């Protein structure tokens, strides 16, 4: 008969507890675990997006007039009916042949989500 290394029940429980605690401590929280922060989003927006998209998100920022491809007006149906995923993808990767470049290297995923939350708030306020 094969013998298994003797491990008592209390010791097995102790090991299980240590493993569980370790896993919980190391489990990195992803950005999606928290609701986006519109206050931080406002700061990101004002710093990086307002010049083109405008203070109210109407696509009328100070730099907009000089652009050949106009910045998106977030109040238009074609913009605000898009899903968060779709808009986040645009913020992440940019739009080809437009001044809307990728923000992947400049903003973290959380900052991009916060900025989008602020854009959604602007649209709500403008209704
Ligand atoms: C240099 C000007 C410029 C800046 C700065 C800029 N954008 Fe844009 N953005 C554009 C343009 C132009 C488009 C529209 C491209 C098109 O017509 O498809 C656009 C499109 C978008 C869209 C897609 C809208 C839709 O309906 O699909 C989102 C979302 C967006 N921008 C978010 C942002 C965010 C967030 C920032 C700041 C981090 C930002 N933009 C900064 C010019 C800019």
- Rounded to an integer, the average pLDDT of 19-29 is 51
Task: Give the model's confidence band at 99: pLDDT under 50 very low, under 70 low, under 90 confident, else very high.
Answer: very high
Distance of alpha carbon 72 from alpha carbon 58, whole angstroms: 8
Mean pLDDT score of the chain: 86
With a 6 A CB cut-off, is 79 part of the ligand 1 pocket?
yes
Q: Is 123 in the pocket of ligand 1 (CB under 6 A)?
A: no
Nearest ligand 1 atom, CA 115: 35
Alpha carbon nearest to ligand 1 atom 11, residue: 71
Per the listing, tokens 């290297």 go with 105
Whose tokens are 């100070």? That residue is 62
pLDDT in tens, 31-80: 556 789 999 999 999 999 999 999 999 999 999 999 999 999 999 999 99
| Mean pLDDT computed over 115-126 | 96
Distance CA 79, CA 86 (A): 10
Q: Residue 28 C-alpha to ligand 1 middle, in angstroms? A: 30
Domains, in order of start, for the chain: 36-125 (1.10.760.10)
Nearest CA to ligand 1 atom 26: 79
Q: What is the DSSP string of 55-124?
A: TTSSS--TTGGG-SSPPP-TTSHHHHTS-HHHHHHHHHH--TTSS----TTTS-HHHHHHHHHHHHHHHH
Enter the pTM of the model.
0.80
């Amino acid at each position: 008969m094969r013998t298994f290394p003797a491990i008592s029940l209390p010791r097995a429980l102790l090991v299980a507890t240590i493993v569980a605690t370790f896993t919980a401590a190391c489990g990195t929280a992803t950005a999606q675990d928290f609701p986006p922060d519109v206050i931080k989003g406002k700061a990101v927006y004002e710093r990086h997006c307002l010049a083109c998209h405008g203070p109210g998100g109407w696509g009328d920022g100070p730099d907009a007039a000089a652009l050949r491809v106009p910045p998106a007006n977030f109040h238009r149906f074609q913009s605000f009916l898009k899903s968060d995923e779709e808009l986040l993808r645009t913020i992440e990767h940019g739009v080809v042949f437009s001044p809307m470049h990728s923000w992947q290297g400049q903003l973290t995923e959380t900052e991009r989500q916060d900025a989008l939350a602020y854009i959604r708030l602007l649209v709500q306020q403008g209704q």
